[in-house]
């Protein structure tokens, strides 16, 4: 995983975990990668993964079953989508709109490209 410099690593790991849930790689009530296993996989300190898991636990996305590990919570997909949507709308969309304006890109062009993207990249679960 390539980490971006403009965002805390634990948040990027939380996004990675959230994406695994959204894509169905980590299923509801399924045990997810242990802190140590994910730290080895991503080549980060286990404390950083633990911080990401605590963040996700605070959002109600995963739960810790003491002595067993972390599991995907009920409603995790909806919670992840809601969190990521708010973050996108608040942080990324203003810059996107600025670029559209600066580059004179019309909403029609964006619509055409988005439709082409969705045809080329079908989602397994859009719910």
* Global confidence as pTM: 0.80
Residue pLDDT, tens place only, 15-58: 999 999 999 999 998 899 999 999 999 999 999 999 999 999 99
The strand pairing partners of 28, in sequence order, are 72
Domains of the chain plus CATH, in order, are 9-76 (1.10.10.10), 78-120 (no CATH)
Instruction: Please determine, for residue 126, whether its predicted confidence score (pLDDT) is greater than 60.
Output: no
Q: What are phi and psi of 50, to 5 degrees?
A: -60, -40
pLDDT tens digit sequence for 56-86: 999 999 999 999 999 999 999 999 999 999 9
| pLDDT band at residue 125 under the 50/70/90 scheme | very low
pLDDT, position 117 = 94
């Amino acid at each position: 995983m390539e980490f971006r410099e403009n965002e805390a690593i634990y948040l990027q790991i939380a996004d990675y975990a959230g994406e695994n849930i959204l894509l169905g790689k980590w299923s509801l009530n399924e045990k997810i990668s242990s802190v140590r296993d994910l730290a080895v996989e991503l080549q980060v300190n286990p404390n950083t993964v633990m911080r990401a898991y605590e963040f996700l636990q605070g959002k109600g996305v995963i739960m810790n079953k003491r002595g067993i590990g972390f599991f995907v919570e009920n409603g995790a997909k909806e919670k992840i989508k809601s969190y990521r949507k708010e973050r996108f709308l608040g942080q990324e969309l203003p810059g996107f709109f600025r670029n559209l304006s600066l580059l004179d890109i019309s909403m029609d062009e964006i619509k055409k490209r988005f439709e082409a993207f969705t045809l080329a990249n079908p989602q397994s679960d859009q719910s």
